[in-house]
Structure 1
């Protein structure tokens, strides 16, 4: 009689142990499944589709911090492109300067006003001079905010009879602002200044 009860008690303990193990295994499997589901959803949310010329193109979205260096360099490059790419046409100059000044603070506006007061743009128009710029490299320090940059570029002043080439170096800082159609990267250049602007090749 007692042996029978002892066997029942032992069997109950085995069943209890097995049941606890089974419950733990179910919890682990369920937890892993839930984790993988959220991971897949997160990955799929990073996939976006862009409609271009009637075709859907797949793109991968990313956090801003992952591409901040690329965005800063492109912002600086576009600012210099608009500020220094000029033709002997007053409307072209005004349009390009407006686009450039949307990307920078009063330091760029001050440089523009100084050039205007010196008659720089009037001389470009009267002498039929086109001005072009090629950005060679941009150094960016992402360790400290606002972000410091230094831009190295080659500037060309093109006349009908000759071309003057200049080595241009500028520097400044960038702070984050809201994105807009006029400022798609969401940065604003501040304390911008020209460090060097020397002739490389004289006509």
Structure 2
């Protein structure tokens, strides 16, 4: 059962990051997909979403017809503390140029009741970005 929990936790973490960071230049889709991510994490994810919104991140995606994707490189998960580190590569494709960034986020995972919007029955807590830096392409 413990190995199943680790697999489910990693799947939850990866899916959350896909919902949060895979973004096409479509406002309705961005609202839908980021909204799905909000069911999977606590208010720390909402704070990060609000900061991105205030900094014009989402409107910049739409106005520049950018496509953002994230590729999971690895997830370190400590089954005893339930803390994780997510290592990913974010690619932002714009008409003028592509940008590649390394991303490292951290947080914890807690059990919650399973729902249609949260089928893993897990909640990401204390989520924050530790690194989001440009890479040479």
Whether these two folds match at TM > 0.5 is yes
**Aligned residue number for residue 185 of structure 1:** 120
1:119 shift after superposition: 1.2
Pick 1 or 2: higher relative contact order, CA cutoff 8 A, min separation 6.
2
Query: 1:43-82 counterparts in 2 under 5 A?
Result: 63=1, 65-82=2-19
> Tell me, which stretches of 5 or more residues in structure 1 are unaligned?
1-62
**Aligned residue number for residue 127 of structure 1:** 64
1:88 pairs with one of 15, 25, 35: 25
CA radius of gyration, larger in: 1
Structure with greater helix percent: 1
3-state SS of 1:196 partner: strand
Structure with greater strand percent: 2
Superposed CA RMSD: 1.0
State TM-score, norm by structure 2. 0.96
State TM-score, norm by structure 1. 0.66
Q: How far apart are the structure 2 equivalents of 1:66 and 1:88?
A: 38
3-state SS of 1:168 partner: strand
1:166 pairs with one of 93, 101, 104: 101
Structure 1 runs of 4+ with >6 Å offset: none
